[in-house]
Amino acid sequence: MSRVALVTGGTRGIGEAISVALKDAGYKVVANYCGNDDAAKAFMDKTGIAAIKFDVSDFDKTKEAITQIENDYGTIDVLVNNAGITRDGTMHRMDADQWDAVIKTNLGSCFNTSRAVIEGMRDRKFGRIVNVGSINGQAGQYGQVNYAAAKSGIHGFTKALAQEGAGKGITVNAIAPGYVDTDMVRAVPPDVLEKIIAKIPVGRLGSPKDIARTVLFLVDDDATFITGSTISVNGGQHMY
């Protein structure tokens, strides 16, 4: 029987590539999204993958949605915590809403989703959790104290949960992408983006598929000895 995979923020950008790669590899995939219904519909039409709308920053709504997904599609074996946002600003201009939104969406979501699936994974003695961090959680970034703190938090979260899951057949790993060609990066002003690309040794932005193939590697049934790791996929921009 196919393993069931939930990809948060799985309808656009990196998440879309992850959803499609998992489907192509034989997983039964459910993609989550939050607000962009048009993109979700286009994604469903194109891929045939179910897209379910809920806000992963909301604990109760996430729990409710995951219970429903498990009833409809089967128990979740693979969880990819990919949903993320930016609300950039330097500290002296950042307001509390910018801070809260990014911490709740990018880091709080990992607790909300993992909490909803972890007991089942422990009972079944199998689970694969992959959390999408960022190069900016490793190296910091001007104008992103909220984002860097949330992504850095993901790396600690990953190591702690990996220790708890290790004896129960559950692996927990993180990927730290560098700059990847998605809507999030296309929102960066072109002159700033040019300077960023100039600092990437391989000389290009990453593609969503570069991240998706790393997820596939980590969630494989045979990948039982890799846990608590962060894999950097950044074209050599930051060697950590």
* Least distance CB 108 / ligand NDP (angstroms): 9
Total binding residues toward ligand NDP, as defined by CB under 6 A: 30
* Least distance CB 231 / ligand NDP (angstroms): 13
Among 221, 232, 216, 235, CA closest to 20: 216
d(CA 186, CA 189) in angstroms, rounded, equals 8
User: Distance of CA 200 to CAs 107, 149, 206, Å?
Assistant: 26, 23, 10
Based on DSSP, count helices (H) and strands (E) in the chain, helices before strands: 10, 7
The full DSSP string for 42-85 is: HHHHHH--EEEE--TT-HHHHHHHHHHHHHHH--EEEEEE----
Site pattern 175..204 for ligand NDP (x: CB under 6 A): --x-xx-xxxx-------------------
**Annotated catalytic, 147?**
yes
Residue 66 interacts with ligand NDP (CB under 6 A): yes or no:
no
Piece in contact with ligand NDP (CB under 6 A), picked from 3-11, 20-28, 91-99, 217-225: 3-11
d(CA 147, CA 164) in angstroms, rounded, equals 26
**Binds ligand NDP by CB under 6 A, chosen from 22, 49, 56, 212:** 56
- Point out the catalytic residue in the list 33, 147, 179, 240: 147
Residue 131 interacts with ligand NDP (CB under 6 A): yes or no:
no
Q: Which residues contact ligand NDP by CB under 6 A?
A: 8-9, 11-15, 32-36, 39, 55-57, 82-85, 105, 132, 134, 177, 179-180, 182-185
